[in-house]
Amino acid sequence: MSAKYVFVTGGVVSSLGKGLAAASIGCLLESRGLRVNLMKFDPYLNVDPGTMSPFQHGEVFVTDDGAETDLDLGHYERFTHAPLSRDNNLTTGRIYEQIIMKERRGDYLGKTVQVIPHVTNEIKNAMRKVSSNGADVTIVEIGGTVGDIESLPFLEAIRQMRQELGRENTVFVHLTLVPWIAAAQELKTKPTQHSVKELLGIGIQADILLCRCDRNLGREMKQKIAAFCNVEERAVVGAKDVPSIYEVPLCFAAEGVDSLILKYLRKEAPEADLTNWKDLVDRCYHPKDVVSIAIVGKYVEYEDSYKSLKEALTHGAISQNLKLNVTWIEAEGLESKTPDDRSYESQLAGFDGILVPGGFGKRGIEGMLNAIRYAREHQVPYFGICLGMQTACIEFARNVCGLKDANSSEFDPSSQHRIIYKLRELLGVEEMGGTMRLGAWTCILQEDSLAAKAYGGATEISERHRHRYEFNREYEALLTGGGLLLSGTTPDSTYVEIVELPGHPYFLGCQFHPEFKSKPLEPHPLFREFIVASYKNRQGRLSSDVSETSTLTNLLSS
């Protein structure tokens, strides 16, 4: 049986949500009992996003096999159960790297290496490899915007795929913009018409149009687009803005997107079961209360830098029927001007929980340490991820164990007390990405620890990593003597994976990135328990405020 593909392209402008659209289509096909796989082609020349600035590219998503990938793969994993790996995200840089290696080895037998057929063949082979794992449908997202010179080889490759596989095995879904022009007080279809025309000039006729708009797309507008763009009227889908991204699959289902794709692919499937998604969205829109979390980070000016983190917190909140209120705090803004300066406390007061996420470099570290100290001393639930665990260890060493110059060799290579250091470098381990520890690693949990309880009593887990520096076990006795618990380590006890503070409502730091494995219908246990602890803190604080107000009222009345 031939492999079947859905190709997702975008036009008019970038950032229309191709990744969410691809993920939502995958979600709908999965809900019909089909097995899906997804992949993303990025047109930039970087080999992968691993060394790109978070301010420009956003989050680097990591798969189990250690691939540093585009953040859209995070959407794919959250919306589906597709088994993603480094094969599911390829850049122009990676493809050209492979071609040049083959040319240097003589694989092309001295032939002239060209975009067609060599580059396009490499792209098609990558798609075939991903679809060969038994998927019923493979969804392929082409990054960039139609008309960009960088995207042309990918668009040519998917055009060839239709020629080779036939219409019954390929569907082209094109995401466009239908803007509301305030001066004219109407939606305009011309950008969509031009985008479809641009695609047609490459040799691709769109089958389904997902029209991004900020309001409902009326029937007359759909008829007009269908007539000018040569598609069925029901293939013009109004992709309206919605408050929650988790409503997108339901909106697509209401417009019949999955049914249309299956019709074009000539594939039978049961009716979709979206009961759990409907319940999820209902909880999003009808929370019983709110929970307020402060995220103290280095890249807060660009929220996409922490895309999976924000979603994982949302998953934890939804699981408790709570609305998540996140406040992004720039770590540098919490730094003290003098040793006795505690003015940062006013910026942190009133939050139910505090989280310090991952990051690289020295900037903002002192502000993170102040936030952690505040959470520890004021019994505010604290969750530290990667850098957030390392800074928690440094703060504890400084302010509880008395090592005033405790630091990480990343921030101060000459520090006398390197609580955090580059262990792999000292061991002589070198690999792609320098000494980076990437991908899934096994962690052994201490029984009855906060972590073990969060994981439902499990004593062995697997989580994904992306970091270079490790906890220095030479300081283990000192820190554990001060009360810190090392509750998670690798099976060989080389690396410390989790630290926590017994007696605190919730004080936990993990060296891995749990946000990469959280799903809306399967919230990660550490995020779920952090939200539970934060909400308890909120209830306790509000109860205390009510009690103080009542006492003051009684005193005044007497």
Q: Which long-range CB contacts under 8 A does 457-462 form with residues at least 24 apart?
A: 461/488, 462/64
Q: Give the span between the Cα atoms of 168 and 207, in whole angstroms.
A: 12
pLDDT digits (tens, 9 = 90+) for 119-130: 999 999 999 999
Which of the following is catalytic: 118, 174, 467, 513?
513
- Helical packing angle, 152-165 and 190-202, nearest 10°: 70
Q: Do domains 5-279 and 288-541 have the same CATH topology?
A: yes
| Average pLDDT, integer, range 479-492 | 96
The CATH fold of domain 5-279? Rossmann fold (3.40.50)
The answer to whether residues 237 and 210 touch, using CB atoms and an 8 Å cutoff, is yes
386 is catalytic: yes
Domain locations along the chain: 5-279, 288-541
Q: What percentage of the chain carries pLDDT values higher than 70? A: 95
Strand 382-385 to 507-510 pairing: parallel
Domain at 288-541, CATH class? alpha beta
Burial of 96 (0-12, 13-18, 19+ CB in 10 A): middle
Quick one: CA dihedral 43, 44, 46, 48, positive or negative? negative
pLDDT digits (tens, 9 = 90+) for 85-103: 999 999 999 999 999 999 9
| Average pLDDT, integer, range 396-400 | 96
pLDDT at residue 546, as a whole number? 62
Q: Give the span between the Cα atoms of 538 and 342, in whole angstroms.
A: 23
The answer to whether residues 538 and 352 touch, using CB atoms and an 8 Å cutoff, is yes
393 is catalytic: no
315 is catalytic: no
Which of the following is catalytic: 467, 515, 524, 529?
515
pLDDT at residue 544, as a whole number? 74
Whole-Å CA distances, 62 to 73, 137, 201, 436, 537: 9, 23, 36, 12, 32
Write the CB contacts of 203 (distance below 8 Å, at least 6 apart in sequence).
156, 159
The helix/strand/coil state of 235 is: helix
Task: Mark 503-537 as b/e (b = at least 16 C-beta within 10 Å).
Answer: ebbbbbbbbbbbbbbbebeebbbbbbbbbbbbbbb
Write the CB contacts of 19 (distance below 8 Å, at least 6 apart in sequence).
40, 70, 71, 72, 75, 76, 141
Residue from 224, 38, 216 nearest 139 by CA: 38
pLDDT level of residue 545 (50, 70, 90 thresholds): low
Whether 362 has a pLDDT exceeding 90, the answer reads: no
Which of the following is catalytic: 284, 386, 393, 401?
386
335: which 2 tokens? 């730094």
Task: Mark 299-331 as b/e (b = at least 16 C-beta within 10 Å).
Answer: bbebbebbbbbbbbbbbbbbbbebbbebebbbb
pTM, full prediction: 0.92
pLDDT digits (tens, 9 = 90+) for 188-237: 999 999 999 999 999 999 999 999 999 889 899 999 999 999 999 999 99
Residue from 353, 348, 304, 309 nearest 330 by CA: 348
Whether 46 has a pLDDT exceeding 60, the answer reads: yes
Locus of tokens 């309880």: 453
